[in-house]
Each structure stands twice: as C-alpha cells, then as structure tokens.
Amino acid sequence: MRAIFMIALREYAENAKTKGFWIGLFLFPVIIFASIAVQRLLEDSTPTRHFVLVDQSGAYGAEIREDIDRAYRSSVLMALNGYALEHAVNPPEAKEIDLEETPPIDMAEMQQSIESHMGPEMGAMLDEEGIESMLELMSAPFDGLVEDRPEFEMPRPAFLEVPLPKELNADASVEELSEELRPYLRGEKTIVVDGEEVSLFACVLLPRDIQDFVQRPGLMADLKRAKALQDKVDAGPDAKPVRRGGQYWGSNLADSDLKNRIQRSINKTLQRRELETRGLDVAAVAAVNDTTLRLSALDPKKEEGKEEVSTADQIRQWAPVGFVYLLWIGIFTISQMLLNNTVEEKSNRIIEVLLSSVTAGELMMGKLAGIAGIGLTMIGVWMGSLVGILGLSAGPEAEFPTMLLEVLTGSGLIFWFVLYFCLGYLLYAGIFLAIGSLCNTIKDAQNLMGPVMLIMMVPIITMMFIPKDPNGTLATILSWIPLYTPFTMMNRAAADPPMFDKIGTLVLLVVFTLFTLVMVGRVFRAGILRTGQPPKIRELLSWMKP
Amino acid sequence: MIELSVSRLNKRFGGNHVLKDVSFEVKGAEMIGLIGPNGAGKTTSIRMILEIIKPTSGEISILNGRSALEVRDRIGYLPEEKGLYKKMRAWSIIAYFATLKGMSRKDAKHRAFELLERYGLKDFANAKTEALSKGMGQKVQVLASIAHDPEFVILDEPFSGLDPVNQEVMEDVIRDLSERGHTVLFSTHVMSHAERICDQIVLLAGGKKVLDDTVENARHIIPRKLRLESPKSLQFLEQMGDVLRMAPIDEKGDIIVDGQGQPGKLWDVYLSEKAEPIDVIEACLREGIPLERFDYSPPSLHEVFVHLVGDQAKEASFR
C-alpha cells in the first residue's frame, strides 16, 4: 500500500508540473468565461452598420426608415431596462424566476412584440426628459435608482443610414448606381459621416419599376415565375440579367440582419397596401394577425400538474452534451499522460529500478491512482470554475448563466459526471496503460493508438444526435457497450432513462472495467520488461491467461 | 553469512537456453565481479537474482531471503541501461527511489542531499536530470540505488558509456561503497575494472560459469609470460621443466614464423602456472648467458579472460 501511495504521489506531483496540465486546467474556465463574455462583447463590438438607401420608387423608403428607427428605439428601451435593474436600490433576486415553471422563451418573437409597441410616438419620449421619466418608471418597483450611478449611455444604433456619396446621382439607373457603389461596398472608397470616414456595409436600391416585381399567389403567377427561371437557365450563366427589381448589395454574407429587416419591412408595407386597395380594415387585420393561441409543450414523464416543458427542462436536455464533451476531453487527456509516462519509463529503463523496488501490480495501481488524482483535480477545477463563473455572472440581467447554474446545481448531472468520469477513466486508462507497457517508443504507441482513437471518436460523433432521441435505439445500444457507457449515459442523463438502463449499464460497466484491469495487469506484468517490437496478438492473448 | 547463493540456475527464452546450470555463492566477500563477454547471461542472472524475471529452474537465496522481494528494501540496484526521469530534479529522484525502498520522505530528502554532497554533486542537487552530463547522470543513478543504505548493491555495467576519467570516478564510488560495508556485486566486460577492485570474480560465457575464484587465483590459471632479450641463443631454456614453450619475436612483439625472417634477440617464454620467473634468471646466470632485457608482469585478468573465453566470445559475435 505504501509503495502504491509513493508512486501515486510522484505521478501526481510530476504531472502536475507539466505545462499540459496547467493549460488543460485553465483552458476550460477561460472558454466558459469567454463564451459568456463574448455574447456581450459581440453586442458591444459589432460596429454600427452603415447603409445607403435609394428609393426611386418612393414606395417603401419611409417605412423602411421607420422600421430601422423602431428597432433602435426598442434597443434603447432594453438598455434602459437593463440599466434600471442594474442600478436599482433593491434589484430583484434572480432566484425569483422559477425556471421549473417558466416556459421556454422565443427571443425573436419577444423582440418583435416589443418593437410593435415602439411606434413613432415613442420617439418623442426618448429625449433627455423622456429617458429620465422612463427610468423612474422602470425602477419604481425596486425602490428607485441608487444615487451614485454612471450616466446612462445611449446604445449604438445597429444600422445607420448614410446619404449617397455626393458624386453619385440618385436619379441614375439602378444598374449605374450599383456599378458606382461597388468600390464603396468593397471598402475601396469610404463615405464621410460627421467628419468620420466609414465604410459602406450595404446598399439598398429600389428602382422605379419595383412594383412590377411584386409576386402574387396563384397558378399563373407561379407559371410565370417558373418560365422566368427557365429563361434564366437557358440564357446561361454569362448572360447579364437586365432587370432585377429591388436589390440589396452587401459583401458580408454572414450578417443578414439588415437584409432580413428590410425584406420584412417591404413585405409588411406591401401587404398593408394590398389590404387597403381591397378595402379591408388594416387595424382589424393587424389585430387578427396578432391574435395567437399558445400550444403548451407537455412532458408525460413529469409528475402530474407539472407536465409543462419549462426552460429548465430544455437546459437539462442540452447541458449533458457539454458534459459529454468534458468527459471525453478529460479522460482522453489524462489517459494520454499515463501512456506517455509509461512509455518514458520503459524507454528509459527506469522500469527496472522500479521493479526491483515494487511489484508490477503496485506500480500499475500507483500510476492509475496518481493520474486519477490529476484527473479529479482537473474536473474539480472545471466544475468549481463553471459554478463559480456562472455564479459571478449570474444576476438579474444575465438570465442564461443564472438558469444554467440553477439547473446544474439542482440536478444530479454533476454527480453522474464525476461517477462516469472515474469509471471511464479506469477503463480507458487501463487500456492505455496496457498499450504503454507494450511499446518502447511513442511512435510504437501511436501505431497501436490508431484503432483506440477510432473507437473513441464514436461518442463525439453521436454526441449531438443522442439528445434528440435520448431513449431511442441508437442511444440504448451504445449505452450497453461498456466502452461507450460513460459517454452515452451522460448524454442521456437528462432524459431520465429507464432505471433498468441506468443500473444495468452501470453494473456492466463496473464489471467490464474490473475485468479489463485484471487483463491489463497481466499484460502489463508481461509487457513492461519486454524490449523490441510490440508483441503479436496471439502472444498478447497468451499473456492474458491466468 | 552467505549473502547470495545461486544454485543450478537455468533460463530459457523460448528455444534460447541463455543460462545453463549456473551456481555460485557470495560469502563474506565485499566486491564481486560478474564478468563475461556480451551475451554471456550476466544481465539475465542479475534480473533473476532481483526477481524481476523468474528463472526456468534453479534456486536463488539473497540475504537469507527466499525471494528478493522479501528483502528488496535491503538491496540496491542499478540496471544495465541507465535512465532517469528527465524532468525530475537530481535530489528528488534519489529521494523518490529511497522512499520506494521504505524510507520516510523526510529522511529520504535529507539522505539525498547528503549523498550528493559526499560525491561532489552538491551544486547539481536542484538540476533537472536532463541537464546533467552522462557521467553525472550515471552517478546520480548509482546514488539513487544506494540511497536507502542497502546491505547488498547490484550494479549492472556501471562503467558502460563513461570516459576513462569518469570510469575511475565510478571505481572510487564503488570502492567507497565497499569500504562502508556494503556488499557490491557488479557486472562488466571490461576486465581491468574487475581486476582493480574485485575480491571475487565469477566468469560467465555462453550461459555457463567458467570461473569462480579470487582475482589472484584467477591469474594463476594461465601460463606466465616472460620477454627476454639476449645476444646469445636462449634455446637451452626449452630444456627447463617449467618452460612450456618459447617463440622468437620481432620488435613489435609479433611471433616470427619460420621462413619469414631471422630469429633475433627477442624471445617470449611461457612458463607453467606454478613456475617462478626468478628460476629463469638463475638458469641464465648458471649458463653464463647475459640478459639485456627481462620483462615479467603477472598475467592480467584480461589475458585470463581472452584465454578462457576468447574463441567463444568471437564465435558468439559472428553468429
């Protein structure tokens, strides 16, 4: 026992000194922290998008501008709300939101509903005075605002229209305009706004004849469209299209917010006008359109009266994916350490000195225990930092970390994670140890590692599918393969798998792990002093016989 | 007390019979050399003595224990191929091996620094072993093998890979160990080391024990060689009972073969093991033959070695 402890102690101390260990230790908290910070950072750092709008038809310009303003007003309102909560005398406790009772929120839907209330009349309220009274109103439920608080800063607008460059003629044809705007869009030329040079993000060109391109439902219209498409194909790729209707020019394909917004605005305007020409009551139709009936998502597995799928349920469903990944990274990293230092001992022949002092069994147990200590330290720090960072960033204005923290600490996920980590580690570390004992060089080891790597890739590939059907055939089959039990069962942990699966796979995993370790012990004893080429399979099997 | 007894030891690796009925004892001796050409079975014997590998048949008893595992805390071992954990510091690797042998961590650390100081490595105590020269690394490893103050120290090829100066340093270290009361068994194929420091030698060749004796006795098993120079013929010496044979040689010491040159004034004279070289001088004086040169040095262990196993070793190396 003493020898095992001494070996474990050395393994721990020496591996804890390696750079890899420290990088692994800190990388995870840094990633967690970054991914939370990055969301805010992205919002702050996405520059204001400058665009040019040329509406020769005069049909949609005003409405598009109003919609862009509306979006800005709503972002000001959100910022005001956040500011009021942050600097309130008695800010609301985050805990007051009961996630178990809260249905999942559709953020896009919520934003649209806020925007619908941000009509032009709100614009007047967003002057200095308006903001004061708005803040007062918002902070009233929380006993007003604290005295020493920073000045409220107006958020940057997401989109800002800039005038057409002076040398361009707004009445020129759309083709000419787009040709002349190209250098601006490519960043070759800049536009001066308020004495500052800005590059043009996009330009929107609405030609005089834009109404000709309105598409209406109906068979004839569909046929016409099909014909046009056919003509285009027949003309070949080189033919220059003559007329395009409304155009959005922008070189950033990834950020389509502006395009979507303008598209929506045009359609809304068009549809409203259609209603008017048909003599329908626009307000009534809008009211009808906003009339909804919510379909509750219910889970039959939950207890009676609490069947409604809540936000917490959704997080619980997906959080395990993160854990599976951590499990995989953790097990793989430290098993690799074990492999490396076993090969080092072998190639340095330190192994002989060790074996003149301790038995091969003690050596193996010591190494397993020492590296297990490294692994537990690592996941301990990971879990601690996860809870810590979430705890720090949790608060009334950070809903997601709060929810995540609560779900993590409230469910058994961490318990299962640690359990599966230990068992998975023993299983894979055992296999790696056996491989290490057979190889004299890292190169030999890498050859033998090939198949093991392939086997280990499976959980990573299936990781994203399993939550969609956590108790399906694939998940069940994988769960019963001991090599995959830790990953798959971790993946399914949230979906409340049948007790039979839970206990059965666990028992199988424990038995299989013990069996593997006994076999590994035999291979280790025989292989550790061997020099030269790794043994043949038949020789290996003969070692495994007691 | 019999420190080590090996009897009828056999080892086969597959169809390879590498040790054949080897028996020897270490009794009261302080410094034993296990010598033999490459592939003689030295390392295999040592590994079996330490029970790192199991013999095919035969009995080993070390420090009166049935098995080396029972008494492993009283044995120190330096393996043939030397290696240290590259990233560990010199003192901590010595201390680590001592703790594996049952020392407390505190004592082990203290002892490590003490040894490093005693053998002149004090300044390198905190150096990582990868930064040490080969000679220093080997010294550190020897220190690691004796850190727990073992009664019996087994060193497998302690001189290999060292330059002549460091070989001497290593000899001093080993001699010092023996003076401090450790029994030291070491293997080597360089006879001069064994000759200088051993009390007892066990010569293995081709898996068999060829010789097991003191260095002094070993020297007497081969003919003694004299080199004489005289202006007159020395042929009469062939009549002496103790003279086995004699041969004319040239300036370089090569034997002049008949017909390839004139026998000169130089002769090599081989005497039987028991003969006394002084008898030859007396005989010359009696005959009135002047001697211009009389060289005699007792046979070296190297010559004994070549004499006993030379052909075998050569054969093995070309197989």
Model confidence over A465-494: pLDDT tens digits? 887 787 888 888 989 999 999 998 888 887
The mean pLDDT of A373-382, rounded to a whole number, is 89
CA distance A158 to chain B (A): 54
Is residue B316 in some structural domain? no
Please tell me the predicted confidence (pLDDT) of residue A394: 61
Q: What's the mean pLDDT in B120-133? A: 88
Q: What is the predicted pLDDT for the residue at B12?
A: 86
Contact across the interface for A347 and B83, Cβ inside 8 Å: yes
For residue B85, which residues of chain A lie inside 8 Å, CB to CB? 14, 344-345, 348, 350
Looking at CA atoms only, how far is residue B124 from chain A in angstroms?
Answer: 19
User: Cα dihedral sign for B314, B316, B318, B319?
Assistant: positive
Q: Residue B318: pLDDT above 70?
A: no
CATH number for B203: 3.40.50.300
**How far apart are the CA of B172 and the nearest CA of chain A, in angstroms?**
22
Query: Which one, of B284, B277, B292, B278, lies nearest residue B229 by Cα?
Result: B292
Both B282 and B144 in a single domain? no
Residue corresponding to tokens 């998008």: A49
Confidence of residue A462 (pLDDT cuts 50, 70, 90): confident
Query: Which of B219, B237, B269 finishes a domain?
Result: B219
B255: domain CATH number? 3.30.70
Closest residue on chain A to B101 (Cα): A357
Characterise B54 by phi-psi region: left (phi > 0), alpha (psi -120 to 50), beta (else).
beta
| DSSP tag of A150 | P
Instruction: Compare CB distances from B84 to A10, A350, A355 and report the shortest one's residue.
Output: A350
Are B100 and A357 in contact (CB < 8 Å)? yes
The partner residue sitting opposite B79, judged by closest CB among A347, A353, A358, is: A353
Cα distance between residue B33 and residue A263, in whole Å:
94
Mean pLDDT over each residue of chain A, to the nearest integer: 82
The token pair that represents A90 in the structure block = 């008695």
In the predicted structure, residue A237 carries a pLDDT above the cut 80: no
Amino acid at B289: I
Query: Do B64 and B126 fall into the same domain?
Result: yes
Q: Could A344 and B86 be called an inter-chain contact, meaning their C-beta atoms sit closer than 8 Å? A: yes
Answer whether A10 sits within 8 Å of B102, measured CB to CB: no
Number of domains forming the structure of chain B: 2
Q: Are B90 and B140 in contact (CB under 8 A)?
A: yes
- Residues of A within 8 A of B72 (CB-CB) are 356-357
Q: What are the sequence ranges of the domains in chain A?
A: 2-33+308-544, 48-221+240-290
Q: Tell me: pLDDT of B266 over 60.
A: yes
Instruction: Give the H or E element holding residue A526.
Output: helix A499-527
Show which residues on chain B lie within 8 Å of chain A, measured between beta carbons: 47, 50, 52-53, 68-69, 72, 75, 77-88, 96-97, 99-102, 141, 144-145
Cα separation, B99 vs A32, whole angstroms: 41
The 10s digit of each residue's pLDDT in A27-55 is: 878 887 787 777 667 766 677 888 999 98
Cα separation, B59 vs B40, whole angstroms? 19
Q: Are B137 and B286 in the same domain? A: no
Per-residue model confidence (pLDDT) at position A104: 65
Residue span of the structural domain in which B153 resides: 2-219
Residue A241: pLDDT band by 50, 70, 90 thresholds?
A: low
Identify whether residues B187 and B230 lie together within a single domain: no
Backbone angles phi, psi at B21, to 5 degrees: 50, 50
Q: Are residues B123 and B212 in the same domain?
A: yes
**Residue B70 shares a structural domain with residue B9:** yes
Residues A357/A3, Cβ–Cβ less than 8 Å: yes
Confidence of residue A504 (pLDDT cuts 50, 70, 90): very high
Kindly determine whether residue B101 and residue A357, on different chains, have CB atoms separated by under 8 Å: yes
List, in order, residues 6 or more apart from B27 with CB less than 8 Å away: B1, B2, B3
A3 or B253: whose pLDDT is higher? Answer: A3
Q: Are A350 and B88 in contact (CB < 8 Å)?
A: no
3-state percent breakdown (helix, strand, coil) of chain B, nearest 5: 35, 30, 35
Residue where a domain stops, chosen among B219, B239, B256: B219
Residue B94 has a pLDDT of: 92
**C-alpha span between A36 and A395 (Å, rounded):** 13
Q: Does the beta carbon of A542 lie under 8 angstroms from any beta carbon of chain B?
A: no
pLDDT at residue number A428 = 92
pLDDT digit string (tens) for A176-208?
888 888 888 888 888 887 778 888 889 899 888
pLDDT in tens, B220-242: 777 888 888 888 777 777 777 77
Residue A398 is given by DSSP the state B
Contact (CB<8Å) B87/A2: no
Q: Which of B72, B80, B99 sits opposite A356 (nearest CB)?
A: B72
Q: What is the pLDDT of residues B75-89, one digit of tens each?
A: 999 888 778 888 889
Residue B243's φ and ψ, nearest 5 degrees, are -85, 120
Residue A24 pLDDT exceeds 70: yes
User: Which of A273 and B219 is assigned the larger pLDDT?
Assistant: A273
In terms of pLDDT, which residue wins out, A490 or A125?
A: A490
Contact A349 B82 (CB under 8 A): yes
The DSSP secondary-structure symbol of A203 reads: E
A229 touches chain B (CB under 8 A): no
A363/A374 Cα distance (integer angstroms): 17
Q: Which residues of A touch B87 (CB under 8 A)?
A: 14, 17-18
Q: Are residues B26 and B105 in the same domain?
A: yes
The answer on B251 and B197 residing in a single domain is no
Q: Work out the pLDDT band at B170, boundaries 50, 70, 90.
A: confident
Residues of B in contact with A355 (CB under 8 A): 50, 52
Closest-CA residue to A455 (of A438, A440, A435, A441): A435
Residue A539, chain B, CB below 8 Å: the answer is no
Are B155 and B231 members of one domain?
no
- Residue to mutate among B47, B96, B140, with most A CBs inside 10 A, is B96
Say yes or no for a CB contact (<8 Å) between B80 and A349. Answer: yes
Q: pLDDT digit string (tens) for B294-315?
A: 888 778 888 888 888 777 666 5
Residue A302 contacts B where some CB pair is shorter than 8 Å? no
Cα B302 to the chain's mean position, in Å?
10
- Picking from A353, A524, A531 by the largest number of B CB atoms within 10 A of its own CB, the best residue to mutate is A353
- Max CA separation in chain A (angstroms): 99
The pLDDT confidence band at residue B319, using thresholds 50, 70 and 90, is: very low
For residue A306, is pLDDT > 70? no
A8-67 residues touching B, CB cutoff 8 A: 10, 14, 17-18
**Which of B77, B86, B87 lies at the smallest CB-CB distance from A353?**
B77
pLDDT at B262: 61
Indicate the range of A243-257, A466-480, B91-105 predicted with least confidence: A243-257
Q: Are strands B200-205 and B31-35 parallel, antiparallel or unpaired?
A: parallel
Q: What are phi and psi of B68, to 5 degrees?
A: -65, -25
The answer to whether B77 contacts A352, with C-beta atoms less than 8 Å apart, is yes
Decide if pLDDT at A132 tops 60: yes
Mutation for A interface: B100, B143, B160, most A CBs within 10 A: B100
* Nearest-by-Cβ selection for A14 from B68, B88, B101: B88
Taking the CA of residue B144 and the nearest CA in chain A, the distance in Å comes to: 9
Which of B83, B97, B144 faces A349 most closely, judged by CB atoms? Answer: B83
Cβ–Cβ of A7/B100 closer than 8 Å? yes
Cβ-in-10-Å burial (0-12, 13-18, 19+) of A13 comes to middle
Contact B184, B197 (CB under 8 A): no
Looking at per-residue pLDDT, the higher value among B273 and B282 belongs to B282
How confident is the model over B121-142, as a mean pLDDT? 88
- Residue pair A166/A193 in contact (Cβ under 8 Å)? The answer is no
Question: Picking from A96-110, A142-156, A399-413, A503-517, which range would have the lowest pLDDT averaged per residue?
Answer: A96-110
Q: What pLDDT, on a 0 to 100 scale, did the predictor assign at position B185?
A: 92
Whether residue B8 is contained in a domain is answered as yes
Percent over 70 (pLDDT), chain A:
88
A88: β partners? A145
Please state, for a pLDDT cut of 90, what percent of chain A lies above it. 9
Mutate which of A11, A352, A354, A359 to disrupt the B interface (most B C-beta within 10 Å)? A352
d(CA A3, CA A365): 10
Is the CB of B78 less than 8 angstroms away from the CB of A347?
Answer: no
Total-model pTM:
0.69
Statement to judge: residues B133 and B251 lie in one domain: no
- Show which of residues 309-348 on chain A sit within 8 Å of chain B, judged by CB atoms: 344-345, 347-348
Nearest of A520, A546, A511 to residue A368 by alpha carbon: A520
Give the nearest chain B residue to A350 (CA atoms): B83
Looking at residue A427, its pLDDT comes to 92
The answer to whether residues B155 and B188 belong to one domain is: yes
- Distance CA(B101)–CA(B42), nearest Å, equals 24
**d(CA B120, nearest CA chain A) in Å:** 23
Query: Are residue B211 and residue B229 in the same domain, yes or no?
Result: no
Beta-carbon separation of A6 and B100 below 8 A:
yes
